[in-house]
């Protein structure tokens, strides 16, 4: 059994254990914020275990190796790392009620599906950095889209108060409790735009490095294929959103709308790329 599988499994246990403690605290009617320091320490341990697992499985053999479970794991690791840093400044314990179980499940998948595929020419340092930047950008945009969906649910929850406790199902009651302990929308909005700035920066470097590599290999700056077109559309979408944020103070639903549109373009780019054809569909 490889170290990557072992450490992904250990990370899953820590994530799921933290999630169980937080949900148990919520069900008991106690504030989850009271566990803030312990939760941050536990999350840091889990991030360390997951980060080592990713390094060993993706980069540990001198080549870039990946599969669909590792791609998901890397995306969540990046998002949770940003959340952990943010938690040092503001209280965002409620968001972890959603992310911790998801991270635990994804780590379990990464441990259960260890078979990886070597990315062609990934021994080239420039190409390796380009692919890692692309994975980072796509991963953080995915986390931003999840954040936007959570904010939309919280906005609906605030504008449509729940029915009486006795008339709702257990699932709706649990979801209602989770939304009740979420950080304020303004706090989540600031976090969302931090995520978008990081993702936009990574996406910009992805496009620039991709153009330089393409120029070196083919003599052309960009190949206008499916992947490139939708990546550029995603970049333009986030550029418009951030420009509108700076110049016109865009926020709220318009920010959520642009975030989701940019995410859709990323999904279309990702699913149309040779990377997914090779790695996820296992075609050569």
pLDDT tens, the chain, 284 aa long? 577 788 999 999 999 998 888 888 777 777 666 666 788 888 999 999 999 998 888 776 666 777 777 877 887 888 888 888 877 877 666 677 788 898 999 999 888 876 666 665 556 677 778 877 887 888 788 888 888 888 888 888 777 765 444 445 555 666 676 777 777 888 888 888 988 999 999 999 989 988 888 887 777 777 777 778 888 999 999 999 999 999 998 888 899 999 999 988 887 876 544 444 444 444 44
Residues 103 and 158 in one domain: no
Residue that terminates a domain, selected from 118, 138, 173: 118
Residues 124 and 218 in one domain: yes
Residues 180 and 271 in one domain: yes
Residues 45 and 161 in one domain: no
What pTM was computed for the model?
A: 0.74
pLDDT at 218: 75
Q: Any bridge partners for residue 65, and if so which?
A: 118
Residue that terminates a domain, selected from 52, 84, 118: 118
pLDDT at 276: 45
Phi (first) and psi of residue 184, to 5 degrees: -55, 155
Query: How many domains, in total, are found in the chain?
Result: 2
Residues 77 and 172 in one domain: no
Judged by phi (left if over 0) then psi (alpha if -120 to 50, else beta), residue 160 lies in: beta
Domain that holds residue 163: 120-284
Q: At what angle do helices 125-159 and 185-218 cross, to 10 degrees?
A: 150
pLDDT at 32: 66
Residues 219 and 167 in one domain: yes
Residues 63 and 131 in one domain: no
Q: What is the dihedral of CA 245, 248, 252, 253, to 10 degrees?
A: -100
Residues 19 and 150 in one domain: no
Residue closest to 142 by CA, chosen among 275, 276, 278, 259? 259
Please report how many Cα atoms fall inside a 13 Å half-sphere around the Cα of residue 169, on the Cβ side: 3
pLDDT at 171: 55
Residues 106 and 191 in one domain: no
Residues 67 and 113 in one domain: yes
Residues 151 and 248 in one domain: yes
Q: 3-class SS at 284?
A: coil
Residues 45 and 84 in one domain: yes
Residue that terminates a domain, selected from 102, 118, 134: 118
pLDDT at 162: 56
């Amino acid at each position: 059994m490889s170290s990557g599988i072992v450490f992904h499994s250990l990370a899953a246990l820590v994530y799921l254990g933290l999630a169980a403690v937080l949900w148990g605290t919520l069900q008991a009617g106690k504030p989850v914020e009271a566990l803030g320091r312990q939760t941050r320490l536990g999350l840091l341990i889990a991030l360390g275990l997951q980060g080592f697992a990713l390094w060993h499985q993706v980069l540990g053999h001198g080549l870039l190796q990946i599969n669909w479970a590792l791609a998901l794991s890397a995306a969540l690791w990046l998002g949770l790392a940003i959340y952990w840093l943010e938690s040092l400044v503001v209280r965002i314990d409620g968001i972890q009620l959603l992310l911790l179980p998801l991270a635990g499940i994804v780590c379990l998948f990464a441990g259960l599906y260890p078979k990886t595929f070597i990315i062609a020419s990934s021994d080239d340092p420039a190409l390796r950095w380009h692919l890692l930047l692309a994975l980072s950008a796509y991963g953080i945009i995915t986390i931003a889209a999840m954040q936007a969906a959570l904010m939309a649910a919280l906005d609906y929850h605030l504008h449509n108060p729940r029915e009486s406790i006795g008339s709702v199902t257990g699932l709706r009651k649990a979801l209602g409790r989770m939304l009740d302990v979420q950080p304020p929308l303004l706090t989540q909005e600031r976090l969302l735009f931090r995520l978008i700035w990081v993702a936009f920066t990574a996406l910009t470097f992805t496009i620039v490095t991709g153009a330089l590599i393409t120029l070196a290999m083919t003599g052309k700056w960009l190949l206008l294929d499916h992947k490139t077109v939708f990546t550029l559309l995603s970049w333009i979408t986030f550029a418009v959103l951030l420009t509108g944020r700076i110049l016109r103070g865009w926020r709220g639903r318009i920010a959520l709308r642009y975030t989701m549109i940019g995410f859709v373009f990323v999904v279309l780019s990702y699913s149309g790329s040779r990377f997914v054809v090779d790695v996820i569909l296992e075609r050569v």
